[in-house]
Amino acid sequence: MSGTDLISTYRASMFDGAADLAWLRQGWRALRQYGRRAGLAIEQGDAATKAIMIARADELLNVMSGILDTSEGTTLGPALMTIYAALRFTLLRANTENSVSALQDFEQALAILDRDMIKSSESVIAA
């Protein structure tokens, strides 16, 4: 079994089958929730909750990065890795600057990603 086959088998075992957009969308929605809760914590001056929510978002981004297929010839996995890196930077900015604005950017980016993926998956189903 090649390394790529082993990775694909491991990824499939994590999800009782192939990971698909439904798994990604659930992760994006959880990230949005963590971002909202961190923003609320910043507004309330609750540094502990802010740190916990940002840490959870970062951990989830790590898991979501780990399930991406970034092998040669793939396009979605590498593109999402780039997006996830930008989201991590936005979380860092929110954490270090106590920036609600950065978390709004985080929310907006995830909302666009979720909406665009819904559109693209619906167009594939319709075709």
Asked if residue 98 belongs to a domain, the reply is yes
pLDDT tens digits in sequence order for the chain, 127 residues long: 655 565 556 556 555 555 566 778 889 999 999 999 999 999 999 999 999 999 999 999 998 888 887 888 888 888 899 999 999 999 999 999 999 999 999 999 999 988 877 665 544 444 3
How many domains does the chain contain in total? 1
Residue 8 covered by a domain: no
Coil, strand or helix at 89: helix
Longest dimension (CA), the chain: 53
Q: Is 23 part of a structural domain of the chain?
A: yes
Residue 67 lies in a domain: yes
Q: What angle is formed at CA 83 by the lines to CA 114 and CA 105, rounded to 5 degrees? A: 70
**Alpha helices, H only, 17-46:** 21-44
The reply to whether 102 falls in a domain is yes
Domain-embedded: residue 14: no
CATH of the domain at 111: 1.20.120.340
- Is the distance from CB of 102 to CB of 54 less than 8 angstroms? no
Of all helices (H) and strands (E), which one includes residue 123? helix 100-126
Q: How far apart are CA 21 and CA 26, in angstroms?
A: 9
36: left (phi over 0), alpha (psi -120 to 50) or beta: alpha
Q: Residue 65: give the domain boundaries.
A: 19-126
Establish if 25 belongs to a structural domain.
yes
75 part of a folded domain? yes
pTM: 0.78
